[in-house]
């Protein structure tokens, strides 16, 4: 059975909440304080969200990179596949990254005051720092075609053999989402 079929089966069985197929998972090995933020890549709200987020992050002065992602989650007994964009921002220090993570919680988490296209549970992954309001998680990564398949869990044990596992930080709100599996 191929990797994607195995991961689909794990999502379908509720063993994991989902996974991503990422064009660039280099953030997992980043040594500088790094934050990734994902948004859908369809519709005006998604494009507005990307522009608003990139502009807000630029104020912190990080280097930024945009890459494509396919997301897969279980939804009402079915698999939901989405096209996403991932903005990776690398900061010079942990304090600046902490301010950026705080901004994500205030302005890019869905609410009446949030930027259009913001998610209720933003998929934010942080390496190289441990800002307040974040929780420990593990990213399990397998090579997949031209990119990588990545599963987030709260356990250091990967759900399938052959993964490279890296500790990451997620927004505290994602902890509850990951506990659902």
Domain holding 13, by residue range, is 3-179
**Can you give the pLDDT at residue 93?**
95
Distance CA 89, CA 137 (A): 19
Q: What is the pTM of this model?
A: 0.93
CATH code, 57: 3.30.70.120
Q: What is the pLDDT of residues 137-162, one digit of tens each?
A: 999 999 877 789 999 999 999 999 99
Distance CA 92, CA 121 (A): 26
Beta strands in the chain (DSSP E): 18-22, 34-40, 63-75, 78-90, 124-127, 134-144, 147-153, 164-171
pLDDT above 90 (res 181): no
For the chain, the domain total comes to 1
Q: Quick one: tokens of 164?
A: 């490279």
Q: What is the pLDDT of residues 2-51, one digit of tens each?
A: 999 999 999 999 999 999 999 999 999 999 999 999 999 988 888 899 99
């Amino acid at each position: 059975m191929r990797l994607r079929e195995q991961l689909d089966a794990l999502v379908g069985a509720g063993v994991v909440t989902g996974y991503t197929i990422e064009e660039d998972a280099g953030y997992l090995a980043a040594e500088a304080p790094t934050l990734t933020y994902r948004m859908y890549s369809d519709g005006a709200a998604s494009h507005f969200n990307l522009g608003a987020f990139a502009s807000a992050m630029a104020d912190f002065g990080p280097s930024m990179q945009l890459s494509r992602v396919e997301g897969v989650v279980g939804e009402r007994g079915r698999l939901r596949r989405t096209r996403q964009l991932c903005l990776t921002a690398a900061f010079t220090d942990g304090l600046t990254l902490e301010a950026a993570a705080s901004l994500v919680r205030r302005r890019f988490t869905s609410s009446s005051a949030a930027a259009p296209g913001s998610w209720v549970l933003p998929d934010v992954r942080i390496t190289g720092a441990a800002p307040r309001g974040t929780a420990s998680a593990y990213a399990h990564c397998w090579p997949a075609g031209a990119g990588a398949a990545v599963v987030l869990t709260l356990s250091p044990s990967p759900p399938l053999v052959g993964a490279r596992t890296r500790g990451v930080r997620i927004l505290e709100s994602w902890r509850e989402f990951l506990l659902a599996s």
